[in-house]
């Protein structure tokens, strides 16, 4: 069952990565976007079955969704430092996060017209770029801020 696999992978990731996961305050915004978009199943590959970091760092829909969330809710400095932090995490775990320039052609008008993901709504499979609603993003951010180092 894919849900059980995702839960198990996320739990193991949390347990074994706690020491490595220590973002600074300026990196919280980027991490809040990642948290808000983490529990979804994205079309394409790699998938969650391939591993947390491969899916999170290399699945095109997931990565673009994270980057557009960051563009919508974070300052440029929060985006830059959060990207550097997460890119390093990806690299340490055998994955490669592409440059944020992959969304340079997307305007704020485009982002505002995109489908938003509300908390508690879990589409079966996400087939297009999506961003969390502001409330869902803020919940992801609060999760990061309140997590012990």
Per-residue pLDDT of the chain (149 residues; tens, 9 = 90+): 455 445 444 444 443 444 455 778 888 999 999 999 998 999 999 998 999 999 999 999 999 999 999 999 999 999 999 999 999 999 999 999 999 999 999 999 999 999 999 988 888 899 999 999 999 999 988 888 776 55
- pLDDT recorded at residue 13: 46
3-state SS string for the chain: CHHHHHHHHHHHHHHHHCCCCCCCHHHHHHHHHHHHHCCCCECCCCCHHHCHHHHHHHCHHHHHHHHHHHHHHCCHHHHHHHHHHHHHHHHHCCCCCCCHHHHCCCCHHHHHCCCEECCCCCCCCECCCCEECHHHHHHHHHHHHHCCC
- pLDDT recorded at residue 8: 46
Cα 138 to Cα 4, 29, 67, 79, 92, distances in angstroms: 26, 9, 16, 16, 28
Place of tokens 């059980």: 4
Distance between CA 80 and CA 19 in Å, rounded? Answer: 22
- pLDDT recorded at residue 2: 53
> Model-level pTM?
0.82
Residue 100 tokens read as: 């944020």
């Amino acid at each position: 069952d894919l849900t059980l696999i995702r839960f198990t992978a996320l739990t193991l990731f949390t347990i074994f990565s706690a020491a490595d996961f220590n973002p600074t305050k300026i990196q919280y915004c980027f991490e809040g976007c990642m948290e808000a978009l983490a529990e979804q199943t994205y079309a394409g590959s790699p998938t969650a079955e391939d591993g947390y970091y491969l899916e999170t760092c290399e699945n095109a829909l997931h990565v673009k969704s994270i980057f557009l969330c960051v563009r919508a809710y974070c300052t440029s400095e929060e985006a830059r430092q959060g990207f550097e932090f997460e890119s390093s995490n990806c690299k340490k775990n055998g994955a490669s996060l592409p440059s944020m320039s992959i969304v340079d052609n997307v305007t704020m008008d485009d982002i505002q017209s995109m489908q938003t993901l509300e908390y508690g709504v879990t589409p079966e499979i996400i087939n297009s770029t999506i961003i969390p609603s502001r409330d869902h993003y803020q919940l992801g951010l609060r999760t990061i801020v309140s997590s012990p180092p």
